Amino acid sequence: MKIFITDGGSYGFFTAVFNAYNESACVITSDENVQLSFDSEVVRVEADGEKCARVQKKIEACDPAAVDDILLVLRSCDSLKEQIAFEYIKRLIEKKSPISRAFNLPEVIIFDELKNKVTNEVHKMTGFLRFMESDSGAFYAPYSPDNDITDLLMRHFAKRFMNERFVIHDVGRKIAGIYDGHEWIMSYAGEAEIYLSEYETVFQTLWKKYYKAVNIEQRPHEKQMKGYMPVRYWKFLPEKKI
């Protein structure tokens, strides 16, 4: 079976779709997720702007919103995301019209689930991200999301904290979004060394006191708390650090 391997970027993916489209049985994956078996025939895919544009055009002709949906799914941490998106595209082109709500099709159900996981995590992180004030007055938020969503969060916070300077750092993927008070960019970011402002610990302490005081002790409900706020997110929350 042919296995198309991309570099993990979206251009590479759409190029792979172009190359793989007429193969009878094949798989699209990326360097990060590849799993080879004894009968695999490996094909490396180099991103090709023209092929990429042709595939996108074809997809848009069937459903103008589909390319954005696919780009969301490609942010997922699911190791099968490329294949799931590929199956979705094949179905879409076969049907020639939007299928995003055709929940009778298994390809649509699984694609929709991945998309929701990504958008749900973005929503959760708009709440769970925590900034610290550095001694330069800029704010720094380290976190480690499941999916690759930092630039989506930058859009949200650049509106909200229009006048501040801030950095959102995905420490797992070693990338960061940097906003200088006017514009934001994405950049590589390994380890960061931060000097905190003199008030930072004061406000963190106040926040922890608040968190403790607002809880109604007579009504413990830890399972529900963990359902909403999964434990894996806790290490960046001052109120949950011991």
Partner 1 sequence: MIDERKLEILTESAKYDVSCSSSGSGRKNKPGGLGNASVGGICHSFTPDGRCISLLKILMSNECLYDCEYCPNRRSADVPRARLTPDEICELTINFYKRNYIEGLFLSSAVFDSPDRTMELLCETVAKLRKVYNFNGYIHLKGIPHADGALMMRAARLADRMSYNIELPSEKSLKLLAPQKSKQSLLVPMRGLKEAMDGDRINKVRKNRVLPAGQTTQMIIGASPESDGQILKLTEALYRNMDLKRVYYSSYIPVVKSNKLPSVGAGLLREHRLYQADWLIRFYGFNVDEICGENENLSPDYDPKCAWALRNMQYFPVEVNTAPLAMLLRVPGIGAKGAYKICEARKFAKLDFDNLAKMRIVLKRAKHFITCKGKFYGSESQSQIRASLMLEGARESQTQLSMFSDSSTALSVLTGEL
Q: Which of 61, 162, 192, 196 binds partner 1 (CB under 8 A)?
A: 162
174: left (phi over 0), alpha (psi -120 to 50) or beta: left
Beta-strand pair 175-179/166-170: antiparallel
Of the candidate spans 62-70, 74-82, 161-169, 188-196, the one that interacts with partner 1 by CB under 8 A turns out to be: 161-169
Q: Which of 87, 121, 133, 146 binds partner 1 (CB under 8 A)?
A: 133
CB 27 within 8 A of CB 2: yes
Biggest CA pair distance of the chain: 63
Tell me how far, at minimum, the Cβ of 190 lies from partner 1, in Å. 24
Closer of 191 and 217 to partner 1 (Cβ): 217
Residue 135 contacts partner 1 per CB under 8 A: no
**Whole-number Å distance between alpha carbons of 53 and 198:** 51
Classify 36 as helix, strand or coil. Answer: coil
Tell me how far, at minimum, the Cβ of 39 lies from partner 1, in Å. 31
Here's the x/- map for partner 1, 166-205, by CB under 8 A: it reads as: ---------------------------------x--xx-x
Residue 226 contacts partner 1 per CB under 8 A: yes
Q: Which of 9, 49, 64, 106 binds partner 1 (CB under 8 A)?
A: 106
Q: Which of 57, 155, 209, 235 binds partner 1 (CB under 8 A)?
A: 209
Phi, psi of 168 (to 5 degrees): -110, 120
What count of Cα atoms within 13 Å lies in the side-chain half-sphere of residue 108? Answer: 13
Q: Which of 60, 211, 232, 235 binds partner 1 (CB under 8 A)?
A: 211
Q: Which of 88, 97, 94 is nearest to 63 (CA)?
A: 97
DSSP codes of every residue in 117-160: HHHHHHHHHHHH---EEBTTS-EEEEE--SS--HHHHHHHHHHH
Give the residues lining the site for partner 1 (CB under 8 A).
Answer: 99, 101-106, 109, 123, 126-133, 139, 141, 157, 159-164, 199, 202-203, 205-207, 209-211, 213-229, 237, 239
